[in-house]
Structure 1
Amino acid sequence: MLRTLAARSDAFALATPFRISRGVKAVADVVTVSVSAGGVTGRGEGVPYPRYGESIEGALAEIEAVRGAIEAGISREELLAAMPAGAARNAVDCALWDLEAKLAGRSVTELLGLPPLGPTPTAMTVSLDTPDAMAVAAQALAEVPLIKIKVDRSDPEAQIRRVREMAPAPRVIVDPNESWTIAEIERLQPMLVDLRIDLLEQPLPAGEDDALEGFNPLIPIAADESAHIADDAAALASKYQVINIKLDKTGGLTGALALADAAAAAGLGVMTGSMISTSLSIAPALVIAARSSFVDLDGPLWLAEDRPGGVLGERGVLSPPAPGFWGAP
C-alpha cells in the first residue's frame, strides 16, 4: 500500500525551566512525523538529543533520506536496517505502529496481545536547583507515588536530603545525569540507604562506567545514557541492575520491545523514561511502562500546552490519551 509521508519540526514551550547537570531547557523541540495510507494517518514524535549528537535538522534529513522507502511501504522490521537508532527512527517507527493499528481497527496493545493501557504512576521530577528551592518544589509532590531528583556534584547530599525532608513518603529516583565519579558513588551509598532512595540513575559518564564492573551497590543502579539498543543489554548486566528504556534511544517502540526482552534475558530490571516531550512521545512509551518497575514519563507535564487529547497527569498518575490520539482507531 502506497503511503504519504510528512515530517516537520515543532516547538512546545515549558511552563517552567527544566534543569539538569548538563544545562537548562525552556522549550521542547520535537520532530513530528505523519504517515498516511488507506484514508488514515499514523503519527509519531522524536526528540533529537544533543547529548547523542542529534539535532532537529539532522533528524529531518535522516527521515528525508528514506522517504522513498517509507512511502513505498517499508515495514517496521525493515526500518531497523534502513535507519540508525535514535529520535528520527523513533518518530517514523511510532507513526507506522499508529498507522498499522488504525488500518487494522485494533489498538497497538491488541496487536501485541497485551491488555489495554490503564492509569500509570510516573515519577514527578524535581529539577536541579539550590537545595532550598528543590525543597519547595518537592513540597508540592509530597503525596505522589514516585519522585525523581535531578542532582549534580555541587552538593548532592543537601539536594537529596532537603527533598526527602519535604517529601518523606514517595519512592525516589536520584539522577546525577553522568555527573558523579565512582568515589562519590561509594561515599554516598550510606546516605542513599538512609534516605530510602530506591534507584540511582546513570551516576557515571557512559564512557566511564567500566568502574561499576563488579561493584555491589546498596541500592540498584540504572543505565540510561549507557543503554540504547537490545545489543547493549548483555554487556551492561555486570555493571547495572536496571536499564532505562527510552524510545528516542532505541529508535522506536519496535526497538524498545526488543530491549525490554533483552533486559529480561540478562536479568536486568526495566525502567521506562522519556525526554521532555509531548504526549505523542509518551503514548507509545506507555506500552513499555506496563512492564517496568520504574516509570518516568512526566515530560508533557512540564509543557505550557500539550497536544490536544494527550495524557493527563494528576497526583503523579498518568491517564492514557484520548481515543484515536495514538495507537488506537
Structure 2
Amino acid sequence: MKPQVKENLSNKNSIKEFIANNAIQLVLVALFIIIIFIEPEFLSIGNFRNILAQSSIRVIIALGVGGIIVTQGTDLSAGRIIGLAAVVSASLLQATDYAYRMYPDLPRLPLFVPILIAMALCGIIGAVNGWAVAKLKTPPFIATMGTMLIAYGLTSLYFDRPPYGAQPIAGLDKAFTKLVQGNIGTGDFRVPYLIIYAIIISIIMWFVWNKTKLGKNMFAIGGNPEAAEVSGVNVARNLIIIYVIAGALYGLAGSLEAARVGSATNNTGFMYEMDAIAACVVGGVSFAGGIGTIGGIITGVLIFQVINYGLAFIGVSPYLQFIVKGIIIIAAVALDTRKYAKKS
C-alpha cells in the first residue's frame, strides 16, 4: 500500500476515533448552536452569569458523585440527601421574627453552625453508603437506592412538622440568603458568591484527587480493586472516606440550595443526582473506573447546564427537557462503555 494511501486511512481512522470518543460532546455543541440560532439573545453576559451561578451548586454535587464513579460506583441517593440537608439547614436558619418558625425558641445561630450540622448529618449517610458497599459488598446501585428512600423518608418526616404540616420552610435569615444570593462587583462585572464557593471547593477537591494518598488510592481502586488491595491499599476504609466526602459535599450543596431558593421542601434536590451523573460522564469520568479529572467534571456540568438553561430559554417544555436529559445519560454511558470495551 502506498504511503499516501496509508496516511489517508490513518487520518480517516483518527477522525472516526475522535468522533467516537467525543460524540456526546459534539452533539451537545450542535444543540448549543441550534439554541443560539433560534434565539441569538441567549448570548449575553447576564445569561452566562446565571448559568455559572446555577452550575455552581451542581459542580459541588458532581464533585462528590465523580469520586464515587471513579471507584466504579454510583450514587442514586445524592438528590434526596441534598433535600435532607436543605430542610435541616433551613429550619435552623429561619429569621427570629418569622411567624412560622419550626423552632420558635431557638436563638439566632451563627451561619456556619447549621451548615456544618447538615454536612455532618449527610456525611453520616455517606458513611452508611460506603459501609454497605465496602463491608457488606452491596452493589453501589442497590446500596444508594436504599439510602435514597431512607433519606427521603427522614426528610419528609422532619418536613411534615406540627402544627404547620408540610409547608415550605421559608422566612430564612437574610444574612443566610445574602451569603448565597449576593455578588461581588457592580453592573455587568458582578460575580455571584456561589461561583466563588464552587471555585474554592473545586480547588480543594483537585488537591485531594491529585496530591493526596486518598486520591491515589481512589484511582487505584477504580482501576482494579483486587490489585489495589494486594498492593496494600485498605480498599474498605478508602471507599468509606470517599462516600463520606461525597455526603458532606451534598450537605453543603443542600444548604446553599436552600439559601439560593429562599426556602426548602422535601422535594428539594429531586433528580439532582441524574444531572450530576450525566455531567460526570459527559466530562470524561468513566463508569469503567479509574478515569476522571476535576476539570472534566466542571466542563461536563457547564455543558449540561448550558443545554438545560438554553432549552428553557427557547421555551422547550420541562417535560421534553426530561426526555432530552434521559437520552443524554443513556448515550453518554453507552458511548463510554463502548469506548473502554474496545481498549480492553
Shorter chain as denominator, the TM-score bin is under 0.3
More relative contact order in 1 or in 2 (CA 8 Å, sep 6+)?
2
Point out the structure with the larger helix share: 2
Point out the structure with the larger strand share: 1
TM-score (structure 1 length as normaliser)? 0.26
